[in-house]
Structure 1
Amino acid sequence: MVVGILQLELFIEGATSLKDKRRVVRSLKDRLHNEHRVSVAEVDRLDEHTVAILGVALVSSSVPVAQRVLDKMLDWIRLGRDYTLRDHKLEILSGQ
């Protein structure tokens, strides 16, 4: 079993309230889950309206598959219009 973990730090451009931030975060979380079948949660800086820290988890049967899916997600996330990807950390754990 292989677990891929991705932590994202996003700057939410134009967010003037937590409601604005939550709209952007919810949309991104739903899209990542629906298109890539990953688990996504906001994990830190919950009370800041311009910054979101998201955790993404993926279970796979192989390291190359996990790496490919996470890389594809990162490429797509970099194209976001409502936010800017400030930083990310990617880790793949293998139980083999």
Structure 2
Amino acid sequence: MVVGVGCMVFRIHECHSLKAKRKVVKAMVARIRNHFNASVAEVADNDIYQRATIGVSMVGNDRRLINAKLDKLFNFVEDLGLAEMIETDLEIISL
């Protein structure tokens, strides 16, 4: 079993409240879930309204396939243009 875990940190410009941040984060999470069928959640920076950290995970049996899917996911989210991606982290774990 192969588990792929990714973390993306975003800077949300033109965001001046937690309500505005929530709207952007919910839109990104919904699109990721619908397009990639991945587990997605906001995992940190909950009280900082111009920064969001979103974690994703995928499970499969092929290391290369999980790596490729997570790379596509990162590119997809960056191309959405909802927020500026400032950092990414990816880890593939074989169990």
Smaller-chain TM-score bracket: over 0.9
What is the percent sequence identity of the aligned residues? Answer: 33
Deviation of 1:31 (Å): 0.6
Counterpart AA for 2:33: H
TM-score, with structure 2 as normaliser: 0.96
Cα distance in 2, alignment partners of residues 61 and 28 from structure 1? 26
TM-score, with structure 1 as normaliser: 0.95
2:7 match: 7
Cα distance in 1, alignment partners of residues 6 and 49 from structure 2? 21
**8 A Cα contact 2:42 2:55, kept in partner:** yes
After superposition, residues 7-86 of structure 1 pair within 5 angstroms as 7-86=7-86
CA RMSD of the aligned region, Å? 0.8
Cα distance in 2, alignment partners of residues 77 and 34 from structure 1? 12
Counterpart AA for 1:54: I
Deviation of 1:78 (Å): 1.8
Counterpart AA for 2:13: E
Cα distance in 2, alignment partners of residues 6 and 84 from structure 1? 17
Stretches of 4+ moved more than 6 A in 1? none
Q: 78-87 vs 3-12, which deviates more?
A: 78-87
**8 A Cα contact 2:41 2:56, kept in partner:** yes
Q: What is the count of residue pairs matched by the alignment?
A: 95
Deviation of 1:82 (Å): 2.0
